[in-house]
Amino acid sequence: MGSLNSDLFYDILRRLDGATLASAACACAAFCSISKEERIWENACFSLWPSTKRDDVRNLISSIGGFRKFYADCFPLIVNKYVPVVQWDSYLAYPEEWAEADYYGDENELESISPSDFVSIVDIRYKDKAIYSKVIWGIPDTDGFNGWFYNCPFRIDLFGYSDMNDEHEEGVTLSAANGLPSITSIERERKDGKLWKELRDGIRLSWIVVNKKVNQAANLASWSPLGGQRHWPTDKDFLIRFGSILPAKDILPCQVVECIFVMKFRLIHNEGEDSQTTLKLTELSMQLEDMGGAYVNGRNSLLVLKEALSCHRSKNYSEVLESCHLYSKAQSELKEEKTRNENRLDRLCMVSGIAAFITFWYCIL
C-alpha cells in the first residue's frame, strides 16, 4: 500500500458509490484521508441523483454543508417507529381539547417558516438508469399563502395532465429501450401481470426536501414502492405509491402522519404482436395524510416538513417497511374502533327510536 501512488487510490475511490466509499474510508488512513475530499462525494451524488449536477443545486448543497454531508443526510431513509395508539374518541375531540396555539404549533416558530424555504430535488430511476429529474424551488402556487394555502390540503404536483394533452413537454416514457417488456394485449397483462411486476420492481423514486434556512435535507420517499394498484382507474393505468412516516408531535393529535407519493403510468401504445409497449408517466404528487385519512393542511404541513428533516434515518430498508407496517396497523385499529363506535351509536339510536315509538303508542292507548 505504501508503495502505491495516492492518485491511484483516488482514481479507484472516485468510482465507488457512496455506501461503498464510506466503508472503504474505514479500511486505512490513506483511504480515510482521500474519502474526505468533496470532489469524490460530488461524483457519488451525481451518479445517484442526476439533478445535483445542476449549478444552482450544487451551490445549494455547498451552502448547507457540502456533498459529503448531503449524501449522509439523504441516502438513508426516514424511519419512525414511534406510532402511538390513538383512540377514536380522543381523535374526534381534538378541536375542543387542543388549544389553537397547541394544535397549530408554536406561533413564533410558524412565522419563521416560509414555503420559499423548501426545495424539492426529485429523481426517478428505472432499472438503475435515470429517466427523469426535476428541482422545485419553494412550494408551487403559494402566492398569498397566509390565506388559502394555510387552510387547504397540502399538495405538490410535480406535473399532471389529461388525455387531451399527452404531448406535454415534461412527459416521461418507458419502453423497450429502457428494458420494459412488451405485452401482446391488456387482457394478457390482466392475467399474468408481467408488465406491472417489471414496473413495480424496477422503478425507484427519490424526493429530497431541503430547508435552506436551517441547512437540513432528507429523502422523504421510500426509494422502492410501498404498494400500488394496476389498472386504476382504467385498464391502462398503473398506480404506484411511495412514502414515509413523519413525526408530528405537538403539531397534530395523532402525532404521526404519512407522507404519500403517488406515481401513475398509462399504457399509451400497444397494438399487435410486434408493437412496442410504451408507458407514459401521467402523475407524480406528494401529500401528507393523518391517521384518520384526512389530508394535512398547508399550515401544519410546513411544521411537519421542518420536523421531518431532523428525524431518525436508516440504510436498512426492512426498518423502513417495519415503520410503515406499524403505521398501517395503528391506522387499521383506529378505523376498526371507529366502525365499532358507529355501530354502537346506530344500535343506541335504534333502541331509542323503538322506546320512543312504544311510549308514543302507550300514551295514545
Report yes or no on 347 lying in a domain: no
Based on the domain organization, do 141 and 25 belong to the same domain?
A: no
**345 residue type, one letter:** L
Q: How far apart are alpha carbons 258 and 325 in whole angstroms?
A: 11
Based on the domain organization, do 183 and 287 belong to the same domain?
A: yes
Higher per-residue confidence, 166 vs 34:
34
Distances (CA, A) of 237 to 113, 182, 187, 283: 38, 16, 13, 11
Q: How far apart are alpha carbons 182 and 195 in whole angstroms?
A: 7
Listed in sequence order, the residues at least 6 apart from 179 whose beta carbon sits closer than 8 Å to its beta carbon are 126, 127, 129, 198, 202
Based on the domain organization, do 25 and 64 belong to the same domain?
A: yes
For residue 65, the model assigns a pLDDT of: 94
pLDDT tens per residue, range 76-96: 999 987 776 555 455 554 443
Distances (CA, A) of 225 to 111, 156, 182, 263, 328: 35, 19, 22, 10, 15
Based on the domain organization, do 227 and 123 belong to the same domain?
A: yes
CA-based radius of gyration for the chain: 25
For residue 96, the model assigns a pLDDT of: 39
Of the segments 17-31, 153-167, 343-357, which one has the largest average pLDDT value?
17-31
Query: What is the residue range of 179's domain?
Result: 78-334
Higher per-residue confidence, 154 vs 165:
154
Total domains in the chain come to 2
For residue 241, the model assigns a pLDDT of: 95
Based on the domain organization, do 63 and 97 belong to the same domain?
A: no
Local structure of 341: helix, strand or coil: helix
Based on the domain organization, do 85 and 61 belong to the same domain?
A: no
pLDDT tens per residue, range 213-254: 999 999 999 999 999 988 777 788 999 999 999 998 888 888
Based on the domain organization, do 47 and 160 belong to the same domain?
A: no
Mean pLDDT of 129-148: 82
For residue 147, the model assigns a pLDDT of: 64
Report yes or no on 346 lying in a domain: no
Q: Mean pLDDT of all residues in the chain?
A: 82
Last residue of a domain, which of 75, 106, 121? 75
DSSP state of 82: -
pLDDT tens per residue, range 178-189: 888 888 778 888
Handedness of CA 104, 108, 109, 113 (dihedral sign): positive
Report yes or no on 290 lying in a domain: yes
Report yes or no on 340 lying in a domain: no
pLDDT tens per residue, range 289-339: 988 888 999 989 999 999 999 888 998 888 888 888 888 888 787 777 777
For residue 167, the model assigns a pLDDT of: 45
CB 252 within 8 A of CB 290: yes
CB 298 within 8 A of CB 151: yes
Q: How far apart are alpha carbons 127 and 149 in whole angstroms?
A: 37
Based on the domain organization, do 103 and 184 belong to the same domain?
A: yes
Q: How far apart are alpha carbons 161 and 167 in whole angstroms?
A: 9
Local structure of 286: helix, strand or coil: strand
Based on the domain organization, do 205 and 233 belong to the same domain?
A: yes
Alpha helices for 212-316 (secondary structure H): 298-308
Distances (CA, A) of 1 to 8, 12, 13: 11, 13, 14
Whether pTM > 0.75 for this model: the answer is yes
For residue 349, the model assigns a pLDDT of: 72
Based on the domain organization, do 102 and 22 belong to the same domain?
A: no
Alpha helices for the chain (secondary structure H): 6-13, 18-24, 29-34, 38-48, 55-63, 67-74, 88-92, 94-97, 100-103, 107-111, 148-151, 186-192, 194-202, 298-308, 317-364
Mean pLDDT of 129-156: 84
